[in-house]
Chains A and B, each alone.
Chain A
Amino acid sequence: MLGVASYLVFFLCVVLVLCILTMGLNLQWGFTGLFNAGVAGFYAIGGYTHAILTAAPNPQLMGNYGLPWLVGIIAAMLVTALAATLIGLITIRLRGDYLAIATFGIGIMIQLVSLNLESWTGASQGITRIPKPLATWFDAPLSYNLFYLVFMVAVVALVYWALERILSSPWGRVLRAIREDEAAASSLGKSPLSYRLQSFVLGSTLMGLAGALYVTFIGFVSPFDFLPILTFQVWAMLIVGGSGNNRGAMIGALVVWGIWAASGVAVSKWVPPSHAAQGAAIQVILIGLTLVLMLLYKPRGLIGERSVVSRHLVW
């Protein structure tokens, strides 16, 4: 019973991290129409920045400064924002599918750096001993995870509230206007490039935050936490839940990660270890099919975007 409970707590903590990632993507794709195929890359920048700054000193690695947790979180967001600004300045004026190709490449580049820059990232060995805030207050891992779950609920609620606020503000309306009709928006004097860049950077910053919160929870970071498949899973979450709707994004994160975890359990139960590769393939095929079928038969997702009509419009 305790095993199930502690697994559930672990599962929910991961889902909440994914909620932040998916909401970040939702800002970019759902509200602005920007195709970001490098989600895992921005997530990794946040995770690694936090790890390098806060991990306990290790003579084999540069970095590992053992700085306070909060410094790591803030720096993770700042560094991700800076990286997103640089990347955005180069790529944001590209038309849709070229942006997809470019961000896809950036995701791969970031993974290459994490695999090859051994003196900073520990390559495939990763970085260990990343501190957990307030860990001394708790005596058992389960009670700490429960605390972290409550903390994550608060963070997700805060992110959700803030996003809903800015999206219903004039700024958010401009984003949707650009998504629907770029020419019309610019004829009203709004600079599409500038707004798209803002949305791209803000969304990526949330991904960086998610990365830092994830490595805090796991206490360890390696390139295998940020495989390209993760980008795809986050998209599946957004499409399944309903892009353009933050509650949809969160439901999607829960549903898709639920499918992933449940199929993982089923595979480990019924597929012999000698066929582990095939078992993992089944999991990926399931997620791929979910996305394609969703696009074909329920393109709005489980709960799609609410259609908002101006109250000044006379019917």
Chain B
Amino acid sequence: MILQALTDGVFTGAIVSLGAIGLSLTLQIMRFANFAHAEFMTIGAYLALAVVTFIGPGTPTMGLSFGWQLLLAALLASVLAGAMSWWLDLLVFRPLRRSGAASLVLVFAAFGAALVLRHILVLIWGHDSYFYTRELQLGVMILPGMRVLPDQVFILALTVLLVIVLHLYLTFHRTGIAMRAMAESPTLAQVCGIRVDSVVRTTWLISGFMAAMAGVFSGLTPQLHPELGSNLLLSVFAAAIFGGVGSLPGAVIGGLLVGIAENLFLLVANPGYKPAMPFLLLLGVLWLRPQGLLGEKSS
């Protein structure tokens, strides 16, 4: 039982990690809590659904419940969601920053934007649940008392791949280095001639892209609904803060821990209280170690 809960926790944790990475980046670089972040998970999931409606989820290959078509859909949806998250900045957050609004005003605006985005999806698709594919998957027993779905393994592998690519980008690419400089000190970064606009754009593109990837794979296990993202919002916040804001490995470890904690919690408590688990973790972290596991103490 515990072994299975741990395994399931790692797999849900992978999705939470993907969501937490983008949130952690914007928390650190844009310096406000973006409550609209989770909606880009939902948007990504539904955009991929739109693509899948045209080209189909593909024929199942290698034990997975989908073919290359779904991957293509996920890629298209994520690029588009990244662009949309940047457009939201152009439309709402940038004008507010320019008018010198406090960062908490941006949080208000993000909440408003989140509601509008989520309900535009309801307007188009309604409250029904959708599936990418009707394929049924059987768990594979890999250890006694431990079953995994091939889809889950794929998602975990993809998460690891994306994190490695992003890590290399942040470490070696010029814009990636500029992003880290902005995160350290926006003023100093500007003095050094970093083009703030391009850093901001890249930050939103990456954050929306990662969120949408998380959304698509969350929709794969097993269904899409308009609250897909917002139900994960607290988990994603918990993961980002747990790992330490702005730390990429931190967000991944935070995501895995949140996923595991949620699944262990189900063993002992009323499932109705499941959404409370990430929040309790979050409170504990904020209380004991506000800078997070891998975060640095700000002076």
Residues of chain A at the chain B interface (Cβ within 8 Å): 33, 35, 37, 90-91, 94, 96-98, 100-102, 104-106, 108-109, 112, 115-116, 229, 232, 235-236, 239, 275, 277-278, 280-282, 284-285, 287-289, 291-292, 295-296, 299
Question: Given A94-B286, A295-B105, do A288 and B113 touch, yes or no (CB 8 Å)?
Answer: yes
Question: Given A97-B104, A232-B111, do A116 and B123 touch, yes or no (CB 8 Å)?
Answer: no
Question: Given A288-B119, A295-B112, do A105 and B279 touch, yes or no (CB 8 Å)?
Answer: yes
A-B contacts, 13 listed (Cβ < 8 Å): A97-B104, A106-B279, A115-B272, A232-B111, A275-B126, A277-B122, A282-B119, A285-B123, A288-B115, A288-B116, A289-B116, A295-B101, A295-B105
- Which residues of A sit under 8 angstroms from B113, Cβ to Cβ? 288, 292
Measured in the bound complex, the distance between the Cα atoms of B48 and A29 in whole Å is 39
Are A281 and B119 closer than 8 Å at their CB atoms?
Answer: yes
The 8 closest A-B pairs by CB, nearest first: A105-B279, A97-B33, A288-B115, A116-B272, A288-B116, A281-B119, A281-B122, A291-B112
- Which residues of B sit under 8 angstroms from A282, Cβ to Cβ? 119, 123
| A37, A275, A285 — most chain B CB neighbours (10 Å) | A285
Give chain B nearest CB distance to A86 CB in angstroms.
12
* Other 6 A-B pairs with CB < 8 A, given A291-B108, A291-B111: A90-B287, A100-B107, A101-B33, A278-B122, A284-B119, A285-B119
Judged by DSSP, the binding face of A is: helix
Measured in the bound complex, the distance between the Cα atoms of B119 and A106 in whole Å is 23
- Which residues of B sit under 8 angstroms from A98, Cβ to Cβ? 33, 241, 286, 290
Measured in the bound complex, the distance between the Cα atoms of B115 and A96 in whole Å is 21
Are A100 and B33 closer than 8 Å at their CB atoms?
Answer: yes
Q: Mark B258-299, 1 if CB is under 8 A from A, else 0.
A: 000000000000101101100100110011001000000000
Residue of B nearest to A105 (CB): B279
Are A112 and B276 closer than 8 Å at their CB atoms?
Answer: yes
Question: Given A112-B275, A235-B108, A281-B122, do A292 and B101 touch, yes or no (CB 8 Å)?
Answer: no
B132 close to A (CB within 8 Å) = no
Residues of chain B at the chain A interface (Cβ within 8 Å): 27, 32-33, 35, 92, 95-96, 99, 101, 103-105, 107-109, 111-116, 119-120, 122-123, 126-127, 234, 237, 241, 270, 272-273, 275-276, 279, 282-283, 286-287, 290
- Which residues of A sit under 8 angstroms from B241, Cβ to Cβ? 98, 101
Measured in the bound complex, the distance between the Cα atoms of B113 and A279 in whole Å is 18
Measured in the bound complex, the distance between the Cα atoms of B280 and A90 in whole Å is 12
Are B109 and A295 closer than 8 Å at their CB atoms?
Answer: yes
Residue of A nearest to B122 (CB): A281
Measured in the bound complex, the distance between the Cα atoms of B241 and A98 in whole Å is 9
Measured in the bound complex, the distance between the Cα atoms of B99 and A280 in whole Å is 33
Measured in the bound complex, the distance between the Cα atoms of B279 and A37 in whole Å is 14
Measured in the bound complex, the distance between the Cα atoms of B71 and A249 in whole Å is 49
Give chain A nearest CB distance to B23 CB in angstroms.
10
Question: Given A105-B283, A277-B122, do A287 and B290 touch, yes or no (CB 8 Å)?
Answer: no
- Which residues of A sit under 8 angstroms from B95, Cβ to Cβ? 296
Are B115 and A116 closer than 8 Å at their CB atoms?
Answer: no
Are B33 and A108 closer than 8 Å at their CB atoms?
Answer: no
Give chain A nearest CB distance to B290 CB in angstroms.
7
Question: Given A97-B33, A105-B282, A108-B234, do A285 and B272 touch, yes or no (CB 8 Å)?
Answer: no
Are A285 and B115 closer than 8 Å at their CB atoms?
Answer: yes
Are A100 and B273 closer than 8 Å at their CB atoms?
Answer: no
Measured in the bound complex, the distance between the Cα atoms of B126 and A281 in whole Å is 9
Are B273 and A112 closer than 8 Å at their CB atoms?
Answer: yes
Give chain B nearest CB distance to A237 CB in angstroms.
12
- Which residues of B sit under 8 angstroms from A91, Cβ to Cβ? 283, 286
